A and B are shown apart, each in its own frame.
Chain A
Amino acid sequence: MSRTPDPCLDELLNALYDRGLSDAESAQLADHLKDSAAQDRYVSFALLQQSLADVCSPRENLTLGAFRAPPAKPLEHGFRARFSSRSRIVGIGAIVAIAAAFLLFPRQPLTPVDEATGVAVITNSVNALWGAEGLAVKEGAPLVPGTLVLHSGLAQLDFYRGATLVMEGPAALELQGDKSARFLYGRIRTRVTESAKGLRISMPSGEIIDLGTEFGVNLDRTGQAEIHVFDGSVIWRRAGKELSLEQGQALRISPASTPAGSTEARVPADDTAFAGPGKISTLANQQVDQHRQAWLAGREKIRHDPATLLYFDFETTGSWGRTLTNAVAHAGMRSGDGAVVGCRFVAGRLAGKQALDFKRPSDRVLLNVPGHHPSFTIAAWVRFDGLDHRYNAFVHTDGWRAGSVHTHIQADGTIAIDRFGRERLTSTRRIGPRDLGQWMHLAWTWDDDNRVVSLFLDGTLDASMPITSAPAPTPDTPTFGSVQLGNWDETHRNLNGQLDEFVILSRALSAAEILALSRTGAVH
């Protein structure tokens, strides 16, 4: 029985578990396995693989479906802790022999970054241009403590403790907590409900404590400030001084650095000088139209691009709403329409635009993309509402064979792009709790000319890696063929989320083109 293992067989078995086998290798392995000793070797390998997965897995993946009961015996969660003892064992010689090979490995911390706690959220904005030097801002996404730099435009933010604040660019505000901020410069107007009073805004020339009110502050970069109270009252405080301001009153404060020292002067409040939520709403409604126009213009570009194979805008549907019309306008190589299984049409990311909602295990879109495409781009507006499964399907070609294109989101939030037996690219960014329910532009390119695969999130490069594998062996094999969106076969990996625009092009878009695509009709 203990014959020396066949090196070729071992090589194939290792390949099977590390990168998948090509069709030719599969055939070779099948050939080996006619031999009974090879079968034994295979079985040992398979069980080792299983034990390693069981022992090392950070989460235990055995589920009993509907039968939810605790495991009879808790399984190991990582084996690190178990390495303390040193017992003599058989077979150690072989292990020691390979030890030397590892001595030079660099150590790298591999702990995931924790999600920081949000303190406020941007709830509305008009033409807001945010400075890259400040916090990354996304409407509707939680804001963590840090500085907001608004170059121009208007933005409304809601503190988690109930205060609403409108910033008028150029302005900068440092969020310190869910009821405190440091105002650096610009113009703000804030409304604090009685129940949420206690908002503190500090600035170079003192501190404002809100007592349930509505007020505006104008602060220039020299430190000159004006506080206007429109409703209720506030307290202004600076070393040794404290003043109360009532409705209709305003206070002009000169900075401490002026020759005469700091001075305060009472002036009448000017309600019209500060933009509030009403103004934002009016402007935002006008902006909806502009967005739609911008989107329509971008849409025409995609439709007429000769490289576009498939373009779903989710606006044009066939009979019974079960067919997604491929909106490509040219007569060149293009895919057919998509078939909607399950799924519901819902309001999309732009006012008046549709999206497709994937929720139930059966929900999916089926389509066929013919032709061989050495390079390609897949791009979509997508909204994840939850990561329910170990793998959450995004785009999958049918089957799982050499060259298959698979894109899914793993339970840990990383986006994985797989070409079976070839490259696997994993996103740097993780889809976290803050991203759920948010629209995101996701695009990835397979650039066969430059031999690189790249993933872009919201228009910027997130991860890329060189293509090291040889080009697809048979150019007559379709690169995609049958494709499913939001699901894969009968397995439990259906997407919980929405799609709004989906496009496949037969060339790798440049980073600039991806950025432009992500800006087309982007929500604010």
Chain B
Amino acid sequence: MTTGTRAEQFVSLVLTHQRRLHAFIRALVPESPDVDDLFQQTSTVLWRRFDDYQPGTNFAAWAMTIARNQVRDHRKSHLRRRGVFSDDLFDAIADKIAIATETVDARQEALLACLRELPADARQLIELRYTQEQPVETIAATLRRSDKTVYRLLAQIRSALLSCVENRMRAETSAAGPKS
């Protein structure tokens, strides 16, 4: 049974999994400003090879395999920007990211709840850094704090958010009972 055209199926699948796919690529090229481009390239390749995809199988896994190859090619063409992973580690880390991104939506929900609990000043800092995408130096100047202080505060907030998110996820998993 086919619902809609092939293109519609494709768009629907990509939209369903785009956040995970984006997170996967971003985690694989942490230092690169090319995440959006890689995502776009990957989307193009996915469409071009969409005939290879077996409906009903795991689209995310298939897409991440293709994304991984895109990133690998990208690393080859940007030798100097190969980044923090050696080629040996690349696959091991990619495997871990692929698994972890399964919970990307749940993590986001948890993060929203955790952000809600942040004191207003910490929220402001997060907003400056992530909503306004300001560099630390600019934030420091705005808030009349040293760069060092802002780096330290951001590190503390991230650390707090990480434990909060992980605790929430753990609580949720245990509340929902053992999962298959």
Contacts and interface: CB of A to CB of B under 8 A. Distances in A.
Decide whether A and B assemble into one complex: yes
Contact of B18 (A17, A62, A108): A62
Interface in A197-239: none
Nearest to B8: A69
A29 interface: yes
22 contacts: A14-B154, A16-B31, A33-B89, A43-B93, A48-B107, A53-B130, A67-B11, A67-B43, A71-B15, A72-B12, A92-B164, A95-B118, A95-B119, A95-B122, A102-B121, A105-B125, A108-B143, A400-B33, A424-B137, A465-B137, A491-B34, A492-B37
B153 A101 contact: yes
Contacts of A106: 143-144
Given A55-B115, A91-B167, A400-B33, A47 B23 contact: yes
A108 B142 contact: yes
Contact of B84 (A30, A99, A490): A30
A139 interface: no
Interface string B115-134: 11111111111111111101
Contacts of A492: 36-37, 40
Interface string A338-359: 0000000000000000000000
Contacts of A78: 127, 131
Given A16-B31, A17-B30, A45-B158, A91 B111 contact: no
Nearest to B19: A54
A72 B85 CA distance: 33
Given A56-B130, A468-B137, 11 more contacts: A33-B93, A47-B100, A49-B30, A56-B131, A62-B18, A83-B123, A95-B119, A95-B122, A95-B164, A400-B81, A491-B33
A48 B100 contact: no
Given A90-B171, A108-B142, A51 B93 contact: no
Interface string A5-35: 1000011001111111100001001100110
Given A14-B155, A91-B164, A48 B143 contact: no
B74 to A, nearest CB: 9
Contacts of A80: 123, 127
Contacts of A75: 19
A8 to B, nearest CB: 12
Given A14-B154, A26-B84, A401-B80, A91 B159 contact: no
Contact of B83 (A19, A26, A54): A26
Interface of B: 7, 10-12, 14-16, 18-19, 22-23, 26-27, 30-34, 36-37, 39-40, 43-44, 47, 77-78, 80-81, 83-86, 89, 92-93, 96-97, 100-101, 104, 107-108, 111-132, 134-138, 141-145, 147, 151, 153-168, 171
Interface of A: 5, 10-11, 14-21, 26, 29-30, 33-34, 39-40, 42-58, 61-67, 69, 71-72, 75-76, 78-80, 82-83, 85-87, 89-92, 94-99, 101-103, 105-108, 110, 390-391, 399-401, 423-424, 426, 465, 468, 489-492
Nearest to B40: A65
Contacts of A97: 160
Contacts of B159: 5, 10, 94
Given A51-B104, A101-B153, A62 B39 contact: yes
Nearest to A105: B121
B50 to A, nearest CB: 11
Given A45-B158, A46-B26, A98-B160, A30 B167 contact: no
Contacts of B14: 64, 67
A426 B138 contact: yes
B62 to A, nearest CB: 17
Nearest to B124: A105
B160 A94 contact: yes
A80 to B, nearest CB: 7
A94 B155 contact: no
Contacts of B77: 490
A83 B40 contact: no
Contacts of B19: 54, 62, 75
A89 B23 contact: no
A39 B96 contact: yes
Nearest to A71: B15
B100 A43 contact: yes
Contact of B93 (A5, A39, A85, A489): A39
Contacts of A51: 23, 104, 107-108, 111, 165
A411 to B, nearest CB: 10
A21 B85 CA distance: 13
Given A39-B93, A426-B138, A94 B112 contact: no
A426 B111 CA distance: 29
Given A64-B18, A82-B112, A92-B164, A98 B153 contact: yes
B15 A69 contact: yes
Given A30-B84, A468-B147, A48 B158 contact: yes
B31 A20 contact: yes
A11 B159 CA distance: 11
Contacts of A399: 78, 80-81
B161 A50 contact: no
A424 B134 CA distance: 9
Contacts of B163: 91, 94
A423 B136 CA distance: 10
The winner among B33, B108, B141 for most chain A CB atoms within 10 A is B33
Contacts of A390: 36
A44 B169 CA distance: 12
Contacts of A20: 31
Contacts of B137: 423-424, 465, 468
Nearest to B79: A399
Contacts of B132: 58, 110
Contacts of B131: 56-58, 78
B112 A424 contact: no
Nearest to B33: A400
B83 to A, nearest CB: 7
B158 A47 contact: no
A253 B131 CA distance: 60
A391 B35 CA distance: 13
Contact of B117 (A10, A14, A58, A95): A95
Contacts of B85: 30, 33
